[in-house]
Chains A and B, each alone.
Chain A
Amino acid sequence: MSETPDTAPVKTIKTPMRLEYQYTAGIATTRFLRGIAQGKILGQRCPSCAKVYVPPRGSCPRCAVATEQEVECSDKGTVTTFAIVRVPSENLDVPLPFACVHILLDGTDVPFFSVVQECPLEEVRIGMRVQAVWVPKAELGPTLQSIKWFRPTGEPDVPFDQLQEHL
Chain B
Amino acid sequence: MTQTAPTEDVLSAPHVLEYPYRRSVGPVLSRFFTALRERRILGVRTRAGRVLCPPAEADPATGAAVTDEYVEVGPGGAIETWTWVARPRTKQPLARPFAYALIRLDGADTALLHAVDAGDPACLRTGVRVRPRWRAETVGEIGDIECFELES
Q: How far is the CB of B70 from chain A (nearest CB, A)?
A: 13
Cα(A23)–Cα(B16), bound, Å: 9
Contact B10 A19 (CB under 8 A): no
Q: Are A10's CB and B37's CB within 8 A?
A: yes
Tell me, rounded to whole Å, the shortest Cβ–Cβ distance linking B130 to chain A. Answer: 23
Contacting pair A14 B14 (CB below 8 A): no
Q: Any chain A CB within 8 A of the CB of B90? A: yes
> Which of A25-33, A41-49, A72-80, A131-139 is near enough to bind chain B?
A25-33
| Interface contact A17-B25, CB-CB below 8 Å | no
The answer on a CB contact under 8 Å between B141 and A14 is yes
Contact A16 B19 (CB under 8 A): yes
On whether A10 and B14 interact (CB within 8 A), knowing A1-B139, A15-B21, A27-B7, the answer reads: no
In the complex the two chains form, is A20's CB within 8 Å of B22's CB? no
The answer for the CA separation of A1 and B34 in the assembled complex, in Å, is 12
Closest CB in chain A relative to B89 CB, distance in Å:
8
Residue-by-residue, is B27-61 near A (CB-CB < 8 Å gives 1, otherwise 0)?
00011011011000000000000000000000000
- B23 at the A interface (CB under 8 A): yes
Which residue of A has the minimal Cβ distance to B19?
A17
* Secondary structure type dominating chain A contacts: mixed
Q: Kindly list chain B residues whose C-beta atoms are within 8 Å of the C-beta of A27.
A: 6-8, 10
CB distance from A38 to the nearest CB of B (A): 14
By the criterion CB–CB under 8 Å, are A10 and B21 in contact? no
Encode contact with A along B53-74: 1 for CB under 8 Å, 0 otherwise: 0000000000000000000000
A162 lies within 8 A of chain B by Cβ: no
Tell me if A10 and B140 are in contact (CB < 8 A). yes
Distance A117 CA – B12 CA, assembled complex (angstroms): 29
**Interface membership of A164, Cβ < 8 A:** no
- Complex Cα distance, B12 from A17, in Å, reads 23
Shortest distance in angstroms between B72's beta carbon and chain A's nearest beta carbon?
A: 17
With contacts A1-B139, A14-B141, A30-B11 known, is A9 near B30, CB below 8 A?
Answer: yes
Q: Quick check: is B24 within 8 A (CB to CB) of the other chain?
A: yes
Sample of 19 more A-B contacts, CB < 8 Å, known A10-B33, A25-B12: A1-B140, A10-B34, A10-B36, A10-B140, A11-B25, A13-B142, A16-B91, A17-B19, A18-B16, A18-B17, A19-B16, A21-B14, A21-B16, A22-B14, A23-B15, A25-B10, A26-B10, A33-B11, A34-B11
Sample of 23 A–B contacts (CB below 8 Å): A10-B36, A11-B24, A12-B22, A12-B23, A13-B33, A13-B140, A13-B142, A14-B21, A15-B21, A16-B21, A18-B16, A18-B17, A19-B17, A20-B14, A20-B89, A21-B17, A25-B11, A25-B12, A26-B10, A29-B11, A30-B9, A33-B11, A91-B18
Interface residues of B (CB under 8 A from A): 6-25, 30-31, 33-34, 36-37, 89-91, 139-142
